[in-house]
Amino acid sequence: MPRVSDAKQKLMVAARDLIWESSYGATSVDDICVKADVRKGSFYHFFKSKSDLEIAALEADWQEKKAHYNDIFSPTVPPLQRLSDYFDLLLAKQTERQKACGAILGCPFCAVGTEVSLLDAGIREKVHDILGRLAKYFESAIRDAHAQGVINAPDARAKANLLIAYFQGTMAQARIENNLERIAGMKAGAFELLGVQPAQLAGV
Amino acid sequence: MPRVSDAKQKLMVAARDLIWESSYGATSVDDICVKADVRKGSFYHFFKSKSDLEIAALEADWQEKKAHYNDIFSPTVPPLQRLSDYFDLLLAKQTERQKACGAILGCPFCAVGTEVSLLDAGIREKVHDILGRLAKYFESAIRDAHAQGVINAPDARAKANLLIAYFQGTMAQARIENNLERIAGMKAGAFELLGVQPAQLAGV
DNA sequence: GATCCAGTTGACCAATCAGTCAACTCAGCT
DNA sequence: AGCTGAGTTGACTGATTGGTCAACTGGATC
């Protein structure tokens, strides 16, 4: 197999960043190529369309995050600690991005999903799929927390849906308002939503 | 003042519908003009840019909704009844739209806000402003409910933020998943989030 | 060193984009 | 009747869009 190329990866990273920092519709294939330092012909050698690239880029983005999430949501960690660690990581990442590009970007999956779900079924399904995977982490943490008696959530799935919706809504608000405080306050909001007693939070 | 024209209104309605049913970026000025049956020159007679039209269309959309909301959230209505009525109206409107265009569209303000908040400061501020006005309805209903002892929410503002975030997140999910059930289940989720005792819901 | 082929290149295309403009229409006013 | 000016019209522009293509490159295999 002659020639090793990192053009495909560079295109996916460039697409993720540009689309996150503006939008899918406002990001052109040319923009992505320039940022990735890859010529247009190479773009269409690796991806059959802009939509095709975005689907691959979303999956690659998730795969990268998944590794961290598997650590944070490890069953060896107390369930409320998992959620606390997750919100800490999220705040750190958003703060980092804010420093780099001057704005709060929110959730890259939800943002593009909301934008193109009525235009591109492939992207819609990919985003739906990825958000479903994220929900699984929340669900098992909630189920474990209920089993340990630190929260009352007989229906873990329903409670996870509540939490995920609150989470996504807050991320959307943070983006629209360009307001990091929304994200900073999310941990407290999540624990309030879960009905966590302050006593349970000692050391978390 | 010679000639009465409804072109401006027709353009705003067409823009709201087209952008809601696809996206801001994917909706062209030509599309809007065709749907409104107005020529391009007239468009730029009334609005100085596409962004300018969208800002006006968002405000017009809110003004139309505001009248209904003032009825639903009237202080003469019991506070939990207000919320219940609001979620009923929301479900009815989304169901109606689904029949008309075959998809769940979610919140028109949040969708466009998420899409363009990093590209267009004018639209971002308008969306931010409108979502803030909506939050006021929730806040006062929650404050009244707390005062009457039917829920426990000493900080009505914080609880309203929680509810609004859940609401917006659910609407985004409904759009991404094209799933009416998310909206149908939102009333129950909202009351669970508020910690409403089932006994308080008799007749609601 | 000939062959192979994944990867690269940049010119190219038709379609579409937001926005412009000068000419035109027509109801109300004097 | 003639003027005024808000509203209308459709052709037009230059830039940009997503996508195509034939020619080319260069490391690996035989």
Q: How confident is the model at residue A204 (pLDDT cuts 50, 70, 90)?
A: low
Measured between beta carbons, which residues in chain B are less than 8 angstroms from residue A167? 169
A29 in a domain, yes or no? no
Please answer whether residues A112 and A123 qualify as being in contact, where contact means their C-beta atoms are separated by less than 8 angstroms.
yes
Q: List, run by run, the mean pLDDT of 10-residue segments along chain B (204 residues).
A: 76 97 97 96 96 98 97 97 98 97 97 98 98 98 97 96 98 98 97 84 62
Q: Minimal Cα–Cα distance from A4 to chain B, Å?
A: 36
Residue B194: both structure tokens together? 């508020």
Chain A interface, mutation test: which of B23, B54, B159, B194, most A Cβ atoms within 10 Å?
B23
In degrees and rounded to multiples of 5, residue B24 shows phi and psi of -65, -50
Residues lying close to strand C (Cβ under 7 A), chosen from 46-105 of chain A, are 46
B154 in a domain, yes or no? yes
Distance CA B107, CA B20 (A): 8
A74-121 confidence digits (pLDDT tens): 999 999 999 999 999 999 999 999 999 999 999 999 999 999 999 999
Measured between beta carbons, which residues in chain B are less than 8 angstroms from residue A131? 173, 176
For position A4, what pLDDT does the model report? Answer: 72
CATH classification of the domain holding B192: 1.10.357.10
Whether residue A194 is predicted with pLDDT greater than 70 in this model: the reply is yes
Please answer whether residues B130 and A173 qualify as being in contact, where contact means their C-beta atoms are separated by less than 8 angstroms.
no
Distance CA A3, CA B114 (A): 41
DSSP states of B148-197: TTSS--S-HHHHHHHHHHHHHHHHHHHHHHT-HHHHHTHHHHHHHHHT--
CA distances from residue B15 to A87, B36, B112 in whole angstroms, order as listed: 37, 8, 12
A26-66 confidence digits (pLDDT tens): 999 999 999 999 999 999 999 999 999 999 999 999 999 99
CB contact under 8 A, A193 and B118: no
Report, as an integer, the average pLDDT of A179-197: 95
Closest CA to A142 of A154, A134, A131, A130: A154
A139-180 confidence digits (pLDDT tens): 999 999 999 999 999 999 999 999 999 999 999 999 999 999
Whether residue A198 is predicted with pLDDT greater than 90 in this model: the reply is no
Closest nucleotide (C1' vs CA) to A6 is: C7
Distance CA A58, CA A123 (A): 9
Which residues make Cβ contacts (< 8 Å) with residue A177, sequence separation at least 6? A104, B128
A43 in a domain, yes or no? no
For position B201, what pLDDT does the model report? Answer: 65
Gap from A28 CA to D17 C1', Å: 8
- Structurally, chain A folds into a number of domains equal to 1
Q: Which residue is nearest to nucleotide D26 (CA to C1')?
A: A3
B182 in a domain, yes or no? yes
Identity at B166, one-letter amino acid code: Y
Neighbour-count burial for B84-114, b at 16+ CB within 10 Å, e otherwise: bbbbeebbeebeebbeeeebbbbbbbbbbbb
Q: Minimal Cα–Cα distance from A76 to chain B, Å?
A: 29
CB contact under 8 A, B118 and A103: yes
Chain A interface, mutation test: which of B115, B120, B128, most A Cβ atoms within 10 Å?
B115
What is this model's ipTM?
0.93
Where do the H-state alpha helices sit in A73-120?
79-101, 108-116
Closest CA to A73 of A31, A146, A135: A135
B147 in a domain, yes or no? yes
* Beta-carbon contacts below 8 Å between A and B: 134
Closest CA to B201 of B62, B22, B80, B21: B80
A122 in a domain, yes or no? yes
B12 in a domain, yes or no? no
Other beta carbons less than 10 A from residue B40's beta carbon: 12
Measured between beta carbons, which residues in chain B are less than 8 angstroms from residue A58? none
Chain A residue with the nearest C-alpha to that of B131: A173
Measured between beta carbons, which residues in chain A are less than 8 angstroms from residue B176? 110, 113-114, 117, 124, 127-128, 131
CB half-sphere exposure, B14, CA atoms < 13 A = 21
For position A1, what pLDDT does the model report? Answer: 42
Of A23, A118, A158, the CB nearest to B22: A118
The 3-state DSSP class for residue A39 equals: coil
A23 in a domain, yes or no? no
- What domain range includes position B169? 56-196
